[in-house]
Amino acid sequence: MSYNAPRNAIKRCKTKTNYMTENTETLGWTIHTSELFPQAVTWTEVTEDKYEEMLGVLPPAAYAGAGFLVGEPFDHDPATGRPRYEAYRCRGGRFEVADRPLTRAEFLAIMR
């Protein structure tokens, strides 16, 4: 395989837009336009064991109060390119996980 093989494969890749569903497909990834705008965060209850397990998997990317971001990015924000992480918190005696990954800035703003 030559050095230019990956570059040639990328050149052959075509971007298709489906205007009915507002999806854009590039290199097999689908990004819905709603992912480009911040969505409200919903917190779902998890067990204390799950909370502690995720706290111990890696050093957290951020701490705030009784919440943390799991140390390795889950993905990257399509609009800004910033890393997003799984978020966990303990609030009112309940252990919770966010329904979507959060950037560090989003997490810190929520946890204020």
Q: pLDDT value at position 80?
A: 87
Query: How many CB atoms within 10 Å of residue 60?
Result: 17
pLDDT digits (tens, 9 = 90+) for 19-75: 444 444 554 555 555 555 678 899 999 999 999 999 999 999 999 999 999 999 999
Element (H, E) at 53: helix 48-57
Element (H, E) at 62: strand 62-64
Q: pLDDT value at position 34?
A: 53
Of the candidates 105, 95, 101, the residue with the CA atom closest to the CA atom of residue 39: 101
